[in-house]
Amino acid sequence: MGLLSLAIWTPIAFGIVLLALGRDEQAKSVRWLALVGAVVSFLVTLPLYSGFQLDTAEMQFVEKLSWIERFNVNYHLGVDGISLWFVILTAFINVIVVIAGWEVITRKVNQYMAAFLILSGLMIGVFSALDGLLFYVFFEATLIPMYLIIGIWGGPNKIYAAFKFFLYTLLGSLLTLIALIYLYIQSGGSFDIALWHELPLSATAQNFLFFAFFAAFAVKVPMWPVHTWLPDVHVEAPTGGSAVLAAIMLKLGAYGFLRFSMPIAPDASREWATFMIVLSLVAVVYVGLVAMVQQDMKKLVAYSSVAHMGFVTLGFFIFNPLGVSGGLVQMIAHGFVSAAMFLSIGVLYDRVHSREISSYGGVVNTMPKFAAFALLFAMANCGLPGTAGFVGEWMVILGAVKYDFVVGLLAASALIFGAAYTLWMFKRVYLGPVTNDDVKELTDINAREFTVMALLAIAILYMGLYPKPFTDVMEVSVANLLEHVAASKLP
């Protein structure tokens, strides 16, 4: 069993043990076991970074076992510079979510913790799979624990939100399954993704594949106009569910574009690049304006996520190293920042049981420590230099300006909108005099909440001040991908 298998199956094994434990009377031991499982799962991923070779674009830590021999399906895993950091990020966010739900979840604690551990393993499987069918199994399997997390521990409209989440993401994926079967037939009966990258495909076939993959990945990102499921789901999901959804699950779609759409259908990707750039800019500009008028904090941050992920797809489809690397860095940064934003809203919701901005005011007077963290996270969400939020956006804007000045200018406007809606929310929630009794009675964050906030703050500042470890890992793989996309695959 290699490192990647350990990274996938360790949290899943802990999750299954937690499900077997059963009753809420054992909640204390359940929480500690979940924390041990999450920490061990995270520690298992660290040797992936320390043993990673920076000078090659080849897949590393490869594992290959025959799975379904008759159809030539393999249990085939590996990571390169594009996927490595997402494996580590997934395991890190899982630790954060387990600590964040420690006291908040009081019923079905074992099932809640197990759902997150199993979900973590499945998402790492998506980032590690080098076999098309294995990728699809992991990709679809992630829907089940998230569906349960929203449907069991969510808000008043949780069933509606869970169904909307499931149907949107499942319907898009069905076209992708047809695309995978088509590629299997074209390749002479192989699900090897690397082999698919080399197939000479006609323009018609590439266009079909591009839009079949687009159906699944654009919904998952989510790109405008198929983003409408996200705000509803975020509002109803429990805090931990929102954090994982924004920090990791949205990245599965963007990752799919890099692993499938661009290398398998490079000619179609170049042909439809303008289409993708326009959709990305609409997300950056229009959805940023929509975020500005939200009265619900979770909805505001949900729309903010759509705008930030617009940066990611914009970076990918301008086809230059700065843009693609910037998109990847933005994905990792958004993982830290969006998780921090949703967990901050969760801290307030646990005390006041309201997400409405109007329910607050002057929180800094009663929760000064928490307000300091919230300010840092808000600044990172705006893209302040020195925080993780700045690095990826800056790289994408530079890449966009190289591609086309107007595209770069429109992308840069997101920094203005981001500052407007984030700081206006911060002003109304945290600053000024205390406006109601609920805020007057607030108590500052405890040691557990402080730990969660501090871990995310360290990650955001470290990445903002020293992004080199992140960019070095992806540099060779991004260059190799762009070289591959530039070469025509038409027969």
CA atoms of 415 and 236, how far apart (whole Å):
28
Q: Does residue 26 lie within any of the structural domains? A: no
pLDDT for 25: 64
Q: Does residue 345 lie within any of the structural domains? A: yes
- Mean pLDDT rounded to a whole number for the chain: 85
CA atoms of 354 and 228, how far apart (whole Å):
22
Percent of the chain clearing pLDDT 90 (strictly above): 10
Q: Does residue 491 lie within any of the structural domains? A: no
pLDDT for 457: 92
Which one-letter amino acid corresponds to residue 152? I
| Residue 414 clears pLDDT 80, i.e. is over it | no
pLDDT, tens digit (0-9, with 9 covering 90-100), for 243-283: 888 888 888 888 888 888 888 888 888 888 888 888 888 88
CA atoms of 9 and 90, how far apart (whole Å):
13
The answer to whether the beta carbons of residues 308 and 334 sit under 8 Å apart is: yes
3-state secondary structure of 491: coil
Q: What share of the chain is helix, strand, coil (3-state, %, to 5)?
A: 75, 5, 20
The answer to whether the beta carbons of residues 298 and 355 sit under 8 Å apart is: yes
Q: Does residue 48 lie within any of the structural domains? A: no
CA angle 415, 417, 418 (to 5 degrees): 60
Residues 87-99, mean pLDDT to the nearest whole number = 90
The pTM (predicted TM-score) of the whole model is: 0.89
3-state secondary structure of 489: coil
Which range has the worst mean pLDDT, 3-12, 37-46, 358-367? 358-367
Q: Does residue 65 lie within any of the structural domains? A: no
- Residue 319: phi, psi to the nearest 5? 50, 45
| Residue 188 clears pLDDT 90, i.e. is over it | no
Q: Does residue 330 lie within any of the structural domains? A: yes
pLDDT for 22: 67
Residues 381-398, mean pLDDT to the nearest whole number = 87
The answer to whether the beta carbons of residues 374 and 422 sit under 8 Å apart is: no
Residues 322-341, mean pLDDT to the nearest whole number = 90
Number of domains the chain contains: 1
Q: Rounded to the nearest 10 degrees, how much is the dihedral formed by the CA atoms of 41, 42, 45, 51?
A: -130
pLDDT for 458: 92
Which one-letter amino acid corresponds to residue 333? A
The answer to whether the beta carbons of residues 287 and 436 sit under 8 Å apart is: no
Tokens of 317: 């489809």
pLDDT for 438: 78
Residues 69-83, mean pLDDT to the nearest whole number = 85
Q: Does residue 97 lie within any of the structural domains? A: no
User: How many CB atoms lie under 10 A from the CB of residue 472?
Assistant: 12
| Residue 122 clears pLDDT 90, i.e. is over it | yes
Between the alpha carbon of residue 194 and those of residues 70, 79, 141, 260, 313, the distances in Å are: 20, 12, 23, 10, 22
CA atoms of 143 and 122, how far apart (whole Å):
10
Q: Does residue 251 lie within any of the structural domains? A: no
pLDDT for 491: 65
Q: How confident is the model at residue 24 (pLDDT cuts 50, 70, 90)?
A: low
Residues ≥6 apart with Cβ < 8 Å to 87? 4, 7, 45, 48, 79, 124, 127, 128
Q: Which of 222-226, 419-423, 483-487 has the highest mean pLDDT?
A: 419-423
pLDDT, tens digit (0-9, with 9 covering 90-100), for 289-320: 887 888 888 888 888 888 888 888 888 888 88
Q: How confident is the model at residue 489 (pLDDT cuts 50, 70, 90)?
A: low
pLDDT for 461: 92
User: How many CB atoms lie under 10 A from the CB of residue 275?
Assistant: 12
pLDDT for 157: 81
| Residue 34 clears pLDDT 90, i.e. is over it | no
Q: List the domain range (segments joined by +) for residue 424.
A: 272-486
Percent of the chain clearing pLDDT 70 (strictly above): 98
Q: How confident is the model at residue 123 (pLDDT cuts 50, 70, 90)?
A: very high
